[in-house]
Amino acid sequence: MGLQRPVVRVLSLGRISYTAGLQFQTECVRRHKNGLSGSVLVSETKPLDTLLLCEHSPPVYTVGMRQAAYPSSEEARLRQLGAEFFRTDRGGLITFHGPGQLVCYPVLNLAHFQRKSIRWYIDQLERTMMELCHRYGLETSTSSDRGIWVKDNKICALGVHCGRYITSHGLALNCNTDLGWFEHIVPCGIEGKGVTSLSKELKRNVTVAEVTLPFLEVFEQQFMCTLTISEMRDTSDGFAAWL
């Protein structure tokens, strides 16, 4: 008998602030960890593996756990451009999120998948995005710097957090985002490299809406899971009832 495929719920949040994205992740992670400790509230549903899909607006710069290179003066400079700025607990250095970028935050219990391994998980994310780009006719690669590259230009950034094998944060694929925002930083702290997008490489407008379904198809195949699409329903605490 084969192993049962894990079920992963998908919620498309649309364009939301980075703060809202963090709140959704935090709530999903909390319920997963409560499930591990046996302290799920009676009013809560069973914690579920979840993909949170969104675009971030307003534009935002985020930095990972290695924050020494980004003093308050640098934060102030970037905020003056009209962007928000957040310090996070993900891996990696500085990056940008904004409209035209497919952002995916998988909140998964890795014990439900083929291997309970953060290295395996990151490798699977990279393979997912490489296969997605391949579907669009792009030759991509990975490197020790992480992320997905078209030659020397990064098209997809990865930065994850994992505690007790519960994942958060994730990936950001440049579809038709304004790449000019990246000119104000050294993306991911990597000198001498650039950024690109699907639209730039394909020389046509490639929207987040166009890419979402192929992304989900590839994710489902790569992670050997079954995706179910959920709809948000407003609740008194500001979170979706499906959580």
Catalytic residue among 133, 175, 188, 225: 188
Higher pLDDT, 133 or 93: 133
pLDDT above 70 as % of the chain: 88
Average pLDDT, the chain: 89
At residue 146 the predicted structure's pLDDT band, cuts being 50, 70 and 90, is confident
* Residue 80 pLDDT exceeds 80: yes
Please tell me the distance from the alpha carbon of residue 236 to that of residue 243, in angstroms, as a whole number.
Answer: 13
Q: What is the per-residue pLDDT across 104-121, written as a single tens digit (0 to 9) for each?
A: 999 999 999 988 999 999
Please tell me the distance from the alpha carbon of residue 122 to that of residue 216, in angstroms, as a whole number.
Answer: 17
Please tell me the distance from the alpha carbon of residue 153 to that of residue 164, in angstroms, as a whole number.
Answer: 33
Tell me, what's the pLDDT at 239? 52
Tell me, what's the pLDDT at 145? 78
Q: Is 54 a catalytic residue?
A: no
* Residue 229 pLDDT exceeds 70: yes
Q: What is the per-residue pLDDT across 188-221, written as a single tens digit (0 to 9) for each?
A: 667 778 999 999 999 999 999 999 999 999 999 9
Tell me, what's the pLDDT at 43? 46
Alpha helices of 95-181 — where are they, by DSSP H? 118-135
At residue 235 the predicted structure's pLDDT band, cuts being 50, 70 and 90, is very low
